[in-house]
Structure 1
């Protein structure tokens, strides 16, 4: 699983062009749950190709467009199509189930 940091300047182009499933995660250094996600999410057996991290404090444009109100915020993108927010408790089984649920929805354009 690949990990990368995205910004207001490069996120759209990357997410539109990236094949497979990307989990887009908004975090902030001052958020305890965000630190847990940043440490533990890469270890989980998720059926995704990449984790795309966004620092919410430094990328207000993305925060606004994705309507991020709470951190961490997770979104699913597959082959350039947006599958929405990942609504889940921060537990492995719950995250895996939420990913499956998100990918079963109809795709939309990126915000």
Structure 2
């Protein structure tokens, strides 16, 4: 699974141009759950092409646009279309169910 590190300056351009399903995850170095997610999520067998990480402390513009209120915060983007927030536990089964549910809905515009 590919991993990208995105910023305020390239998050929208990258997500709009990438094929397949991306899991966009906002994290922070000071967040224990975020550190756990960064360490474990790449090793899970998730039905996605990539994880796109964004440091919430360094990218306040993206945090504001995406309405991030807690960390880690996950969002789903497929083929340049935004499928919203993924509100689930950080566990493979829960994320897979959340992805299926999110992708079954109608896409929206990126924030």
Supply the distance in 2 between the matched residues of 1:85 and 1:25 (Cα, whole angstroms): 10
How many residues align? The count is 111
Q: Equivalent residues in 2 for 1:1-111 (5 A)?
A: 1-111=1-111
| TM-score of the superposed pair, with normalisation by structure 1 | 0.98
Provide the alpha-carbon RMSD of the alignment: 0.6
SS in structure 1 of the partner of residue 93 of structure 2 = helix
Deviation per residue, 1:17-51 (Å, 9 max, x gap): 00110100000000000011101110111111110
Supply the distance in 2 between the matched residues of 1:61 and 1:50 (Cα, whole angstroms): 22
Pairwise CA distance, 1:52:
0.3
| TM-score of the superposed pair, with normalisation by structure 2 | 0.98
